Amino acid sequence: MPIISADEALTILRRGDGQTTQPITATGVTLGTADFTTDRGIAKLPAWLFTFPNFTQPVAVIAVAAPALFAPGDTSPNDSTLTARIDTSGTNITVAFEGAAGGDGPCTADYHLTLIEHDTYVDAFTPMTRSTDGTCTAVAYRREETATLERPLAGRVLVDAATGAAITVDKG
């Protein structure tokens, strides 16, 4: 994976969460690893580890550079209502979502999982392909749709096309 410099990591660290704070001087920096939350759970990734006076543990800044790092902006895996699982081949993805009931009667709908592949991510969305009108209650049903990728998901991120958030992918 491409790695950012320690100076770039320090710029990210200084950016923080936008709150005004007192300046503090780092006493050291080393390239190491740290645990980060990813779309595939917790992963140990390269990190710049900054030490500060009166801190018992170093502060970790992910060191992975673009394009290997997927940065969806102000979203996180929790910002998507979709969940997914992938088979052992890494090409068949099943996405779970909330939607109208299946069937042919009133208040039912059909959905189709669409996957658009890019080099570093795959967009997933589940457009409604058929809906039966009626006076319906606002009840959501758990639905699942499966689609096949042209090449394995591998290190690419599955993205909720509606929100831009990463979708957590389980192996199933």
Report pLDDT for 171.
Answer: 85
Long-range Cβ contacts of 112-115 (<8 Å, 24+ apart)? 112/145, 113/145, 113/146, 113/147, 114/147, 115/147, 115/149
Report pLDDT for 79.
Answer: 64
56 and 81 assigned to the same domain: no
Query: Would you say residue 68 lies in a domain?
Result: no
Query: Would you say residue 37 lies in a domain?
Result: yes
Show which of 15, 38, 62 is a domain's final residue.
Answer: 62
Count of alpha carbons within 13 angstroms of residue 101, beta-carbon side: 13
149 and 98 assigned to the same domain: yes
Query: Would you say residue 42 lies in a domain?
Result: yes
Q: What is the Cα–Cα distance from 158 to 145, expressed in whole angstroms?
A: 15
Domain assignment of residue 142, given as a range: 77-171
Domains in the chain, number: 2
CA nearest to 61, candidates 81, 40, 32: 32
Backbone angles phi, psi at 141, to 5 degrees: -115, 145
Q: What is the Cα–Cα distance from 98 to 107, expressed in whole angstroms?
A: 14
86 and 144 assigned to the same domain: yes
Tens-level pLDDT at each residue, the chain (172 residues): 788 889 888 887 777 656 656 677 889 999 999 887 776 667 788 999 999 888 888 888 888 887 666 555 544 445 678 899 999 999 999 999 998 888 888 888 889 999 999 888 899 988 887 777 667 777 889 999 999 999 999 888 898 888 888 888 988 7
98 and 123 assigned to the same domain: yes
